[in-house]
Structure 1
Amino acid sequence: MEDLLIVIWRTVFLYVLIIVVLRIMGKRELGELSVVDLVISVLMAEVAAFALDDPDSPLFMAIMPILVLLIIQITASFISLKSKKFRDVVEGGPAVIIRNGVIEEQTIRRQRYNIDNLLQQLREQQVASVRNVAYAFLEASGNLAVFEKDSDRPILPLISDGVIQKEHLPLIGKDMEWLMNELNAAGYSSPEQVFFCTLDKEGMHIQEKGRTG
Structure 2
Amino acid sequence: MFEMSTAWWEIPARAATIYLVLLVLMRVSGKRTVGQFTPFDLLVVMLLSESVSAGLSGEEHSVTGGLLGAFTLIGLNVLVAIASSRSVRLQHIVEGDPVLIGRDGRIYADTLKKNHVPLLDVERALREADCDLKDMKYAFLEADGGISVLKDSTGAVKPE
Q: For residues 62 and 94 of structure 1, what CA distance do their matches in structure 2 show?
A: 37
| Correspondence for 1:172 | none
| Correspondence for 2:73 | 69
- Identify which of structures 1 and 2 has the higher relative contact order when contacts are C-alpha pairs closer than 8 Å and 6+ apart: 2
| Residue correspondences, number | 107
| Correspondence for 1:102 | 106
1:80 Cα deviation after fit: 1.1
After superposition, where does 1:5-16 map in structure 2 within 5 Å? none
Q: For residues 110 and 89 of structure 1, what CA distance do their matches in structure 2 show?
A: 18
Greater fraction helix: 2
| Correspondence for 1:15 | none
| Correspondence for 2:4 | none
| Correspondence for 1:149 | 152
1:71 Cα deviation after fit: 1.8
| Correspondence for 2:133 | 130
1:84 Cα deviation after fit: 2.6
Larger Rg: 1
- For structure 1, the residue ranges without an aligned partner over 5 or more in a row are 1-28, 32-38, 52-56, 152-213
Range 62-71 or range 140-149, more displaced: 140-149
1:88 Cα deviation after fit: 2.0
Q: For residues 64 and 90 of structure 1, what CA distance do their matches in structure 2 show?
A: 24
Equivalent residues of 2:125, 2:149 under 8 A apart: no
- For structure 2, the residue ranges without an aligned partner over 5 or more in a row are 1-32, 36-44, 155-160
With structure 1 as the length reference, what TM-score do the two structures score? 0.41
1:137 Cα deviation after fit: 1.5
1:146 Cα deviation after fit: 1.2
The 3-state SS of whatever aligns with 1:70 is: helix
Answer yes or no: is 1:121 the counterpart of 2:130: no
AA at the equivalent of 2:137 = A
Q: For residues 150 and 62 of structure 1, what CA distance do their matches in structure 2 show?
A: 55
Q: Give per-residue Cα distances to partners, 1:167-203, cap 9 Å, x unaligned.
A: xxxxxxxxxxxxxxxxxxxxxxxxxxxxxxxxxxxxx
| Correspondence for 1:187 | none
Q: For residues 120 and 81 of structure 2, what CA distance do their matches in structure 1 show?
A: 34
After superposition, where does 1:1-213 map in structure 2 within 5 Å? 31=35, 57-127=61-131, 129-150=132-153
The 3-state SS of whatever aligns with 1:60 is: helix
Q: For residues 71 and 146 of structure 1, what CA distance do their matches in structure 2 show?
A: 36
Q: For residues 102 and 134 of structure 2, what CA distance do their matches in structure 1 show?
A: 9
With structure 2 as the length reference, what TM-score do the two structures score? 0.53
1:106 Cα deviation after fit: 3.5
Q: Percent of counterpart pairs with the same letter? A: 24
Q: For residues 62 and 145 of structure 2, what CA distance do their matches in structure 1 show?
A: 40
AA at the equivalent of 1:66 = A
1:30 Cα deviation after fit: 5.7
Q: For residues 85 and 109 of structure 1, what CA distance do their matches in structure 2 show?
A: 26
RMSD: 3.4
Write out the 4+ residue segments of structure 1 that deviate beyond 6 Å after TM superposition.
none
AA at the equivalent of 1:100 = D
